[in-house]
Amino acid sequence: MSRPQTIVVKIGTSSITDSEGVVQREAVASLCDQVADARSNGHRVVIVTSGAIAAGLPELGMGGDRRPTDTITLQAASTVGQGALIRVYREELARRDLVAGQVLLVAIDFVMRSQYLHARSTMHRLLELGVVPVVNENDAIADEEIRFGDNDRLASLVANLVDADLLLLLTDTDGIFTADPRSSDEAALIEEIEEIGNHHAALGGASGTSRGSGGMASKIMAAKVASWSGVRSVIARADRPHVLADAIAAKPATGTFVKARPSRLPARKLWIAFAVGRGGTVVVDKGARAALERGTSLLAAGVTEVSGTFGAGAPVDITDTSGEIFARGLARHSSEELRPVLGLRSADLPPGAPHVVVHANDLVVLPG
């Protein structure tokens, strides 16, 4: 038996709901059975589940092809569906004498340190109490600008939150292939990726459905985020028998394993580095780039240009004058406030004018 591990398992809407959006009890039951087996082998498991929006729509007469497109209605539907979803998890875990604890998170919980620490303590306590945390995005209140957008990303941040050993991303294919298996006979499963690069995203192919929002590209991104936080991940087929046990045992050909990077970025920096929304771009000169790489804050003097319109606190790409994005950060001031002070040394700025463009604490230099 393998040593006790903490595993985050993510399952998507299309794996657990039918085309109308109704939660498929057998699919949830199968996952809960596997979680119970893992638990009896000493492992700790967190479930990240989607399906709240899809599950809420049929009750509102909006199931299947009547699915609305506006975000507010979808957010409203999630409140109906989340109840239905958690009920099935509670019942199926209870069948195996396990207690489910519902945890609903939003992106800001990973950005604000106090929120992050609360979420972290609660998750750790739940696991100590033997509860199975069942996590989803709090779709009802998630801000459209900064929401996770898909639960793959949420799962990767949860993996960081609980110091997971493994993130299992369940999907409708066996993993990542060398080519699209639907159009190429040569396509082979990639069993292990050392470090995710841009070419892997291109291999993703389309596996998203209209009900789920993930697709392979978002799994690849989630695996990258996990890797950056020191967590190994595996992308595998949801209905593969014993997928969780095989993933824990690192059985060959379970799916595509992605190695963890040796250094670990804290969750807040991870969020900044991989934030979904991008407010704009800040272009800096050579000297400023070198200073940022040494860990300083970005000051107005080093900025040559600001493009896009963004508010204070927005995530921005930081590029050098060649256009290479080498860092990301949260802007201290809006694009409107910043434009008049670009290139000005702190001593030349009028009193009260913005001086720090991105503070070092809010900045991540991306490895080349």
d(CA 204, CA 218): 9
- Residue of the chain from 137, 246, 320, 362 that contacts ligand GLU (CB under 6 A): 137
Q: Any contact of residue 136 with ligand GLU (CB under 6 A)?
A: yes
- Angstrom distance (rounded) from CA 6 to CA 20: 34
Residue 138 interacts with ligand GLU (CB under 6 A)?
A: no
Q: Is 318 in the site for ligand GLU (CB under 6 A)?
A: no
State the Cα–Cα distance between residues 244 and 241, nearest whole angstrom. Answer: 8
Which H or E run contains 122?
Answer: helix 113-128
Q: Which residues, 6+ apart, have CB-to-CB distance to 182 below 8 Å?
A: 205
Number of residues that bind ligand GLU (CB under 6 A): 16
* Distance, CA of 308 to CA of 277 (rounded, Å): 12
Helical pair 267-274 and 215-228, crossing angle rounded to 10 deg: 140
52 binds ligand GLU (CB under 6 A): yes
Assess 13 for contact with ligand GLU (CB under 6 A). Answer: yes
Task: Name the DSSP class of 208.
Answer: -
- Whether 16 contacts 92, CB under 8 Å: no
Q: Is 139 in the site for ligand GLU (CB under 6 A)?
A: yes
| Least separation in angstroms between CB 70 and ligand GLU | 15
Q: Two tokens at 28?
A: 């949830």
Query: Considering only 108-116, 136-144, 178-186, 301-309, which stretch makes contact with ligand GLU by CB under 6 A?
Result: 136-144
Angle between helices 71-94 and 25-40 (to 10 degrees): 50
Instruction: Give the residue, chosen from 7, 23, 28, 53, that forms a contact with ligand GLU under the rule CB under 6 A.
Output: 53
Cα–Cα distance measured from residue 92 to residue 125, given in angstroms and rounded to the nearest whole number: 22
Question: Taking CB under 6 A as the rule, does residue 109 contact ligand GLU?
Answer: no
Cα-based distances in Å from 309 to 20, 282, 317, 323, 350: 39, 11, 13, 18, 23
227 binds ligand GLU (CB under 6 A): no
Q: Does 213 bind ligand GLU (CB under 6 A)?
A: yes
Smallest gap from residue 317 Cβ to ligand GLU (A): 24
Check binding of 214 to ligand GLU (CB under 6 A). yes
Stretch that binds ligand GLU, among 49-57, 238-246, 280-288, 338-346 (CB under 6 A): 49-57
Q: How far is the CB of 151 from ligand GLU (least distance, A)?
A: 3
* Residue 164 binds ligand GLU (CB under 6 A): no
On the 0-12 / 13-18 / 19+ scale of CB atoms within 10 A, 342 is: middle
The nearer residue to ligand GLU, 82 or 319, going by C-beta atoms, is 82
**212 touches ligand GLU by CB under 6 A:** yes
From 36-44, 114-122, 207-215, 358-366, give the range in contact with ligand GLU by CB under 6 A.
Answer: 207-215
Q: Is position 256 an interface residue for ligand GLU (rule: CB under 6 A)?
A: no
Q: Which residues would be at the binding site for ligand GLU (CB under 6 A)?
A: 12-13, 50-54, 78, 136-137, 139, 150-151, 212-214
